[in-house]
Structure 1
């Protein structure tokens, strides 16, 4: 009685135990391609390894899965039944693996908030270089200025220290803010005279202002030791509008060097009085200290290199 019971249990275990995954993969590829050599090429195995795996699978199942004719193989009825089941199973596994990888990639997706004008005129033009260095990392750039909170889907932020930062925020300095009057090169002589660097900002210069940085001219004047210009000018809603107005020749704007450096290099804008540090600086802000060797540390090093 005991041996009979044991025999039935052993028989049940043998009937439900799956063959090795390697044998099933070899069989699935051979069944799909109806060719052992092509299956071997696809799996980066030898023809002999695939043939042996299929033969052992047939011995384990006790059925012929292929009819072998010359150099070709053809599925038997049993082979077609198993091929359909194994193919569906492998498809499910591939789908699960793809979903897990997509989820992992999503977890590596960062949100980096940057002040709009700096984002538009400095960061985005240089961003392809960072992407080329880190092709497997997705960083979503968003425009944002002023107060913020890390608990709202934001991972990192680039801000100027002209407002209180969130409690517990960790700041890594990037560069000091350098500002100066900028205008079109063909307007320099008319608005600043022959030797503008010594003459300062003459009265009557059409100054361009912005509501998002209303104190830009006063801060520059204080930092440069120059009188505040009294010339009439226009006021724009956003800082980058005032810089674009300067490009259009509408007047003189206060331009931070990092935001106008490309226009200076291309000759679109000129800085007749140069630049001075205004006492503020930009920083990369994070909710925790940036760990050496991390991807955040790579980003920080890259940002500093671009400055």
Structure 2
């Protein structure tokens, strides 16, 4: 008797062959959406291509996976069983691909509010690079709401907008603000009364469109009488701070943004700084793993604060 060289693996009684991956992907998307058109849009295919792939899969398996009624589709019991298994398999593949890509990723992206990036983070960044030479971080400027789906790995933001519930936040430091001006202008714009400085009403005030309420917020936090809104207005916060450095007037300066200029004597803050109730935080899509490069960055940021 001549033996079958293919053995039993291709016997119709022991058929473990899988359908095509494309057919399974089309079925999984259609099952999840219970709509062929939405599945086609998700997969960048035509409605007809998805419908044919599902029909061929049904023919190959010999079972109906969907009930088709009045231009709508509903999973059958067999369809639900297959959809559960295929969905779990797709999730495992996506997770494995994501982990492999993460291992190969040599650079991750940190988004930071522009003025904080320019006046606080970049001047200190060489210290981070010296402490962590193997960590390659790309710094980008960005403010307000954002999405981690757009290539951002971490973000530094001020707590002035609602965060999605899925974001993880690590507090960095409180926001402290105060009026600042060029040191050689301070005597003309501030009065010294009973060993306490006060801002003269006629002192030129600098404003910014990105924080239009900065003066009023500072006045409320410092328990000063409200100021009027007269003065020169700039399009961005760092323009108003640079205008203060240039001697054009008095600006509201957050401590971390003017710290270097105050410590070097370029700017003066006769009234000091008060917390305004907001804070900065490091945002991530999930909690930072202990000992990870991201956790190292968090520790370094808190050290700089």
Q: Same fold (TM over 0.5)?
A: yes
Cα shift at 1:195: 4.2
Cα offsets for 1:264-297 (capped at 9, x unmatched): 1111100010000000000000000011111111
Q: Is the 8 A contact 2:191 2:199 kept in 1?
A: no
Q: Name the structure 1 match of 2:59.
A: none
Cα shift at 1:110: 0.7
Cα shift at 1:201: 2.3
Q: Name the structure 2 match of 1:299.
A: 297
Q: Work out whether 1:276 is the aligned partner of 2:280.
A: no
Taking the aligned partners of 2:237 and 2:153, their CA distance within structure 1 comes to 25
Structure 1 residues 188, 166: CA separation in 2 closer, same or farther (over 3 Å shift)? same
Cα shift at 1:135: 1.3
Q: Which has the higher strand share?
A: 2
Q: Is the 8 A contact 1:208 1:252 kept in 2?
A: yes
Q: Name the structure 2 match of 1:179.
A: 177
Taking the aligned partners of 1:195 and 1:207, their CA distance within structure 2 comes to 21
Taking the aligned partners of 1:176 and 1:231, their CA distance within structure 2 comes to 26
Q: Name the structure 2 match of 1:239.
A: 237
Taking the aligned partners of 1:252 and 1:258, their CA distance within structure 2 comes to 17
Cα offsets for 1:49-79 (capped at 9, x unmatched): xxxxxxxxxxxxxxxxxxxxxxxxxxxxxxx
Taking the aligned partners of 1:267 and 1:164, their CA distance within structure 2 comes to 37
Cα offsets for 1:14-37 (capped at 9, x unmatched): xxxxxxxxxxxxxxxxxxxxxxxx
Cα RMSD of the aligned pairs, angstroms, is: 1.7
Structure 1 residues 223, 271: CA separation in 2 closer, same or farther (over 3 Å shift)? same
Which 4+ runs in 1 deviate beyond 4 A?
103-106
Unmatched 5+ stretches in structure 2: 1-100
Give the structure-1-normalised TM-score.
0.64
Cα shift at 1:127: 0.3
Q: Name the structure 1 match of 2:163.
A: 165
Aligned pairs (5 A) from 1:90-101: none
Q: Is the 8 A contact 1:157 1:285 kept in 2?
A: yes
Give the structure-2-normalised TM-score.
0.65
Taking the aligned partners of 2:285 and 2:107, their CA distance within structure 1 comes to 16
Cα shift at 1:132: 1.0
Q: Work out whether 1:255 is the aligned partner of 2:253.
A: yes
